[in-house]
Amino acid sequence: MAFGSHTRLDVRRAQQHSSFCSPSSAAAVLVALALVAVWMASSTLVTPADFSPFRPTTTTARPRNRMDPVTVEEDADDPPPLTLRQTETGPGGDNGSHSHSPSLEAATEADPQAAQSNSNTKDTPHNKQQQQTASPTPSSYAWKLCNTEAGPDYIPCLDNLQAIRNLRTTKHYEHRERHCPQHPPTCLVPLPKGYTNPIRWPNSRDQIWYNNVPHTKLVEYKGHQNWVKVSGEYLTFPGGGTQFKHGALHYIDFIQEAKKDIAWGKQTRVVLDVGCGVASFGGYLFDRDVLTMSFAPKDEHEAQVQFALERGIPAMSAVMGTKRLPFPGRVFDVVHCARCRVPWHIEGGKLLLELDRLLRPGGYFVWSATPVYQKLPEDVEIWEAMSTLTRSMCWEMVNKVKDRVNRVGIAIFRKPTDNSCYEARSAANPPICGEYDDPDAAWNISLQSCVHRLPTDPAIRGSQWPVEWPLRLEKPPYWLKNSEAGVYGKPATEDFQADYEHWKQVISNSYMNDLGIDWSAVRNVMDMKAAYGGFAAALRDLKLWVMNVIPIDSPDTLPIIYERGLFGIYHDWCESFSTYPRTYDLLHANHLFSKIKKRCKLVAVMVEVDRILRPGGRLIVRDSMETMHEVESMAKSLHWEVRKSYSQDNEGLLFVEKTMWRPNEVEAKL
């Protein structure tokens, strides 16, 4: 199986967004088709094959049921990977803010002469006229500040108070789940008073500016557990947690001593930390070459995820409630819960079964909580219920041991690698999931009380453990088939390799030098349309991490990203991302905006980009010339600094930097 059999686009979401997408008339369609025809006739870029996310070769056609996300054909509007080359400038030449400008060409071997000609093409007067007329002027945008109870911490899909008040129940944490406004906001989130540029990694792991995240509830609740303390103008993080008051590194090593096969940084590379607090566990796993996806709800533990991201540690706001987490199945090497306040044992173990969906066959669940090591009646009852549940799920408890330093205990469970235990159970409880319940279907999908059968074909994903890190980063997954086409039309393994080589070349030849980025100041990075994760893989030697986002209407390549030892998430860019404002240093958008504006308003997407980016953060856009100039116009109206803007043969590169500017006018209360 090369990719998932579908995209993540849910029909209910698509219908919801239609209310705010721009209407199209028949005349506009004809004009657009004419423009496409002109572009196809004139451009030297290679047009990719029409790629629809395809089904595994072993899957037969069958009727769709309520568990199935709707399949959406992939638009054939993504060009093959583009390579940036440096064009020489003659004496006295001026190509903008730098002595060299990047030129764009198709990364293809089909017509090297055309490619060479393309690399030497200059902007024409016709191109310049298009640049002047393609987009509204900056003055056409009237920006206002958002007026919400969340203030500078506003997350539209988590702070929709009207939707939360209308919930019929909050028994399953529905009030902590995503409830996106029907119309995405187009207001700008204000800055906290006294906001300043964040402290750089690695110092940020230990302290951040208080004014950037001015919240003290966690200091009051958890200060005695060494989560976070106030020290003058800083918030400091001693590296402790509820279960590791004496430091995360000792606790991390204690886990490996309890089960040596975990082998941090070799056998175990990608970890999910449930109820992460301020994410010190994930922050210190970097020292063991492990990448951790940490998550916690936006709840009374005020700003815990915001603290984590300000520290430079990967985290997102999410809750184990009624929906699947936005990750594919069978991708995490280890799942960790340290007093994460999740009632695993209730309601047939529905929440623990979600972890079973996410764990690789043979992966480990590390549970550190009072039922493991205390003998109070409630703890004993929970432990007995968990023991019964895990046995029924065929999880093997491989160790249960107490840490004498932190005076806590851990239990380590291992997910099976085959179906023999499931078949030998006297009672099928929990039941095996239905044939059409796709474990990779995760966007807006309700939790199910069942276990998925494990793959038996050695050529299917999940039947083998990935090769050790870092070899897994560069090696195509064993389950990619050359008999199936990849995202850009080549055989899948060739497509994977070509994408990786392309991004290595782009980053080394252009992004490292030509854009003038101080990479030592870049820590939190997001690839908004990540494909194979080649952009993130090419940045592996830098002290940063990349959140790889696979849009729900794109081919499902997220399992490939995890197989490489990277991580990411499914997302619909017509909605807000589940992160706090001002949490990323760099956003990368490769042919995202031209596609997303077909479904929703581009201005709302740019407002979300503004919300996510820190002041001083950068956005790199690679897209069609028309779309690039739309984005550039909005960026200028937001008082962002345009560091680089270049277009050639209907392809453009835009590099902009967000400033501290905020409008004075405040909109009516949301």
Indicate if the pLDDT at residue 569 is higher than 50: yes
Q: How many CA atoms lie within 13 A of 545 on its CB side?
A: 25
> 564 vs 325, 330, 441, 523, CA distance in Å?
20, 13, 20, 20
Element (H, E) at 551: strand 545-551
Alpha carbon dihedral 222, 223, 227, 229, in 10-degree steps, equals 140
Query: Interhelix angle for 602-612 vs 625-637, to 10°?
Result: 60
Per-residue confidence band for 287, with pLDDT thresholds at 50, 70 and 90: very high
Indicate if the pLDDT at residue 559 is higher than 80: yes
* 362 lies in the same domain as 396: yes
**Is 317 part of a structural domain of the chain?**
yes
Q: How many domains is the chain built from?
A: 2
Other CB atoms within 10 A of residue 14 CB: 17
What CATH number is associated with residue 396? Answer: 3.40.50.150
**Domain edge (last residue) among 454, 489, 517:** 454
* 491 lies in the same domain as 535: yes
Indicate if the pLDDT at residue 160 is higher than 80: yes
Res 670: pLDDT: 63
Phi, psi of 133, deg, nearest 5 = -115, -5
**Is 624 part of a structural domain of the chain?**
yes
* 274 lies in the same domain as 343: yes
**Domain edge (last residue) among 454, 488, 516:** 454
Segment 511-528 shows an average pLDDT of 96
Q: What is the pLDDT of residues 5-25, one digit of tens each?
A: 445 554 333 333 333 334 344
Segment 379-394 shows an average pLDDT of 97
Q: Point out the least confidently predicted range of 118-122, 344-348, 562-566, 615-619.
A: 118-122
Res 243: pLDDT: 79
**Is 57 part of a structural domain of the chain?**
no
* Angle 143-149-152 from CA coordinates, rounded to 5°: 55
* 548 lies in the same domain as 422: no
* 368 lies in the same domain as 503: no
**Is 115 part of a structural domain of the chain?**
no
Q: Which residues contact 314 (CB under 8 A, 6 or more apart)?
A: 279, 282, 291, 292, 293, 294, 308, 524, 545, 547, 567
Segment 147-151 shows an average pLDDT of 96
Segment 251-276 shows an average pLDDT of 96
**Is 546 part of a structural domain of the chain?**
yes
Element (H, E) at 283: helix 280-285
Res 276: pLDDT: 84
- Is the pLDDT higher at 33 or at 645? 645
Alpha helices in 56-144 (DSSP H): 112-119, 125-133
Res 584: pLDDT: 98
Res 139: pLDDT: 54
**Is 27 part of a structural domain of the chain?**
no
- Is the pLDDT higher at 20 or at 462? 462
* 603 lies in the same domain as 647: yes
* 357 lies in the same domain as 430: yes
* 181 lies in the same domain as 250: no
Q: What is the pLDDT of residues 39-58, one digit of tens each?
A: 433 333 332 332 333 233 33
* 408 lies in the same domain as 479: no
Q: Point out the least confidently predicted range of 401-405, 607-611, 666-670.
A: 666-670
**Domain edge (last residue) among 395, 419, 454:** 454
Q: What is the pLDDT of residues 223-242, one digit of tens each?
A: 556 678 899 999 999 876 76
* 480 lies in the same domain as 621: yes
* 560 lies in the same domain as 431: no
* 478 lies in the same domain as 596: yes
Indicate if the pLDDT at residue 91 is higher than 80: no
**Domain around 277:** 242-454
Per-residue confidence band for 303, with pLDDT thresholds at 50, 70 and 90: confident
Res 325: pLDDT: 98
**Is 157 part of a structural domain of the chain?**
yes
Per-residue confidence band for 73, with pLDDT thresholds at 50, 70 and 90: very low
**Is 40 part of a structural domain of the chain?**
no
Q: What is the pTM of this model?
A: 0.83
Q: Point out the least confidently predicted range of 240-249, 336-345, 500-509.
A: 240-249
